[in-house]
Amino acid sequence: MKILAIDTSCDETSVAVSHNDSLKANIISSQIEFHTKWGGVVPLIAQRNHQEKIDIVIKKALQVAKVNIEDIDIFAVTYGPGLAVALEVGIKKIKQLAKKHRKPVVAVDHMAGHLYANFARNRNSVPLNPILFTKDQSLVRKDIFPFLGLLISGGHTEIILIEDHLKFSKIGETLDDSIGEAFDKVANMLGLGYPGGPIIEELATQGDEHRFDLPIAMKNSNDLNFSYSGLKTAVLRVIKELGTEAPRYDPQEKEGIPEPSLCIPNLYQPTLSKKPIYKLNKQDILDVAASFQCVAYKQLKNKLLKAIARYKTEFVVIGGGVVANLYIRRKLRKTLGREGVRLIHPQNKKLVSDNAGMIAVSAYYQALDAQFVDIEELDRKPRLSL
């Protein structure tokens, strides 16, 4: 079956075309440049950009896949979680296409997509994570179930038990901020721009992760939940102690522009917020970034180890934008390895951040299970949860 999938859940307009679970095209048009100066995603800017880009990205995906729209068998779309006004654009487009071409629609949960990114095959139908497939690569192995999923993104920090295809039970989640949000907020406090994750990761490579004693939240709680807001507050306390108060650089103001808090021109991004920031010297910034990242990881580790002890699974499959973080991935792989557990992550950069390829893969398994929706009923679900 040929699938065309759309994801417009946040600040990427993405369209993929697949043949079953083999991705023939996975086009991502990022809007980050339009949001960076605001220090986060602005919903109406996201919506307008999706509207402007969606047809172009669909055309490109079909071109790259060498498929005619008339040959598409199934249309798939992310219907949540995400920004309501952004989700709306993809849903509206998929309804138009499905009506015009009289084809069924599959509605996909964005977070299921992040997990199913791990089951993708490339355009030559080779599984990107062969260990999850039978020896002849024809099917996903039955004995990988049940396995644990760890979702770490801008809006989510969750542990999911996957008992069979598309059978998700959430067994742990953050009680406040997500890990990606914490990266973004800490970067913001340091005046480093948005998105914060990649910047913090890069700076942390030069910092001393043991310099500051930051709290590991919910260390002794027996549940599998997380909390990242205390860590963020602790980092702010450290920043206040180290720094001198300085007005933020506001590009709309001609005067009083302080030196950027860190002279890495390509990384420093101004923000329009007028809240004061604290000017730190370079080494302090590097050490704050490293110490924060280290504790952010330790919190994941603690709860994952608890989940593994409880559910005794052989695999942990990870998904979401924070999976791009090599420090976290390496540390997790080592820690899980000691427990005899394999860490699986999407084997392609495009499949880590928000993309429609992962939506096509989930849609394939949903279609096999006849999970089609009535397009008149289909609506955005910004708070959808696995």
Taking the C-alpha atoms of residue 80 and residue 381, their distance in angstroms, rounded to an integer, is 5
Question: Cβ of residue 100: shortest distance to ligand KG4, in angstroms?
Answer: 29
Q: Residue 39's closest CA among 153, 169, 190? A: 190
Question: Cβ of residue 131: shortest distance to ligand KG4, in angstroms?
Answer: 23
Residue 145 has φ and ψ, to the nearest 5°, of -85, 145
Structure tokens at 367: 């279609």
Burial of 361 (0-12, 13-18, 19+ CB in 10 A): buried
Per CB under 6 A, the segment of 62-70, 226-234, 251-259, 320-328 that binds ligand KG4 is 320-328
The one among 80, 207, 243, 320 contacting ligand KG4 by CB under 6 A: 320
The residue (of 39 and 197) whose beta carbon lies closer to ligand KG4 is 197
If one asks whether residue 113 binds ligand KG4 (CB under 6 A), the answer comes out as: no
If one asks whether residue 287 binds ligand KG4 (CB under 6 A), the answer comes out as: no
Taking the C-alpha atoms of residue 164 and residue 342, their distance in angstroms, rounded to an integer, is 18
The one among 183, 212, 228, 297 contacting ligand KG4 by CB under 6 A: 183
Instruction: Tell me which residue has tokens 């059978």.
Output: 167
Beta strand 74-80 pairing with 105-109: parallel
Instruction: Collect all residues with Cβ–Cβ distance below 8 Å to 130 and sequence separation of at least 6.
Output: 137
The one among 8, 18, 47, 153 contacting Zn ion by CB under 5 A: 153
Question: Cβ of residue 220: shortest distance to ligand KG4, in angstroms?
Answer: 26
The one among 90, 149, 155, 357 contacting ligand KG4 by CB under 6 A: 155
If one asks whether residue 196 binds ligand KG4 (CB under 6 A), the answer comes out as: yes
Per CB under 6 A, the segment of 21-29, 147-155, 227-235, 256-264 that binds ligand KG4 is 147-155
Rg (CA), the chain: 21
Beta strand 244-246 pairing with 277-279: antiparallel
DSSP 253-316: -SS--PPPSS--TTT-------S-EEE--HHHHHHHHHHHHHHHHHHHHHHHHHHHHHH--SEE
If one asks whether residue 362 binds ligand KG4 (CB under 6 A), the answer comes out as: no
Question: Cβ of residue 136: shortest distance to ligand KG4, in angstroms?
Answer: 32
If one asks whether residue 195 binds ligand KG4 (CB under 6 A), the answer comes out as: yes
| C-alpha distance from residue 192 to each of 214, 280, 287 (Å) | 20, 12, 14
The residue (of 172 and 197) whose beta carbon lies closer to ligand KG4 is 197
In the chain, the amino acid numbered 84 is: A
Q: Residue 37's closest CA among 198, 192, 193? A: 193
The one among 80, 90, 149, 321 contacting ligand KG4 by CB under 6 A: 321
User: Which 353-372 positions form the footprint of Zn ion (CB under 5 A)?
Assistant: 354
Question: Cβ of residue 263: shortest distance to ligand KG4, in angstroms?
Answer: 21
Per CB under 5 A, the segment of 11-19, 152-160, 224-232, 336-344 that binds Zn ion is 152-160
If one asks whether residue 178 binds Zn ion (CB under 5 A), the answer comes out as: no
Question: Cβ of residue 274: shortest distance to ligand KG4, in angstroms?
Answer: 23
Taking the C-alpha atoms of residue 271 and residue 258, their distance in angstroms, rounded to an integer, is 13
If one asks whether residue 153 binds ligand KG4 (CB under 6 A), the answer comes out as: yes
**Site residues (CB under 6 A) for ligand KG4?**
10, 153-155, 180, 183-184, 195-198, 201, 320-322, 324-325, 353-354
**Site residues (CB under 5 A) for Zn ion?**
153, 354
